[in-house]
Amino acid sequence: MFNLILFGPPGAGKGTHSLRLMDKYGLVHISTGDIFRAETSNKTELGMKAKAFMDKGELVPDEVVIDMLFSVMDRHKKAKGFVFDGFPRTIVQAEKFEEMLEERKVPVSLVISLAVDDEELIRRLVKRGLESGRTDDTEEIIRQRLNVYNNQTKPLLDFYTKKNLLHSVHGIGSIDDIFERVCTTIDHNIKN
């Protein structure tokens, strides 16, 4: 089973590339953000809890995220693998995720970090907010999300580097060029 974590700050292109990787490699795409947005639009209890945190640019608590992830993975037991988009976001989540995968006897295969500077991220997200109407894509909330990312999520770079799983990919350029870099990284680092 091939389990890929696509890592990077908000606006780095994780969602865009995860969907393309899903198609190319036959993986199941798991995006915590997409799941939370679906739950929010359906006004479920989980969705309303998640929305309260997301609207402030904060992370959804670990126990909510982990429960949701177990549920999605269990619905896809025959999958060739998963591409995780936006998860894990903290060291605690990464440790719990590893435990969960060990119970299932499947490892994290590879972690790819999309490297993009803050000003490019802000430009991309403000544009996305204007085009999509997403309420969490205003400059003020984006800056808060980047602060949260830098303080709580960025330490995962060291976490996965120490496990020899992390590979950084330059995340600026055309979508096709970035996707080609991501695929080259996967193809050079995965043993079939």
Active site residues: 14, 89, 128, 134, 145
DSSP state of 9: S
Supply the DSSP symbol for 108. Answer: -
Task: Report the distance separating Cα 130 and Cα 149, nearest Å.
Answer: 22
Residue with tokens 């330059």: 170
Which residues are within 8 A (CB) of 37 and not within 5 positions of it... i.e. 6 or more apart? none
DSSP-derived 3-state class of residue 157? helix
Give the 3-state secondary structure of residue 130: helix
Q: CA 8, CA 2: separation in Å to the nearest integer? A: 19
Please report, for residues 17, 45, 103, 136, the alpha-carbon distance to residue 22 in angstroms, rounded to integers and kept in the order given.
8, 29, 24, 25
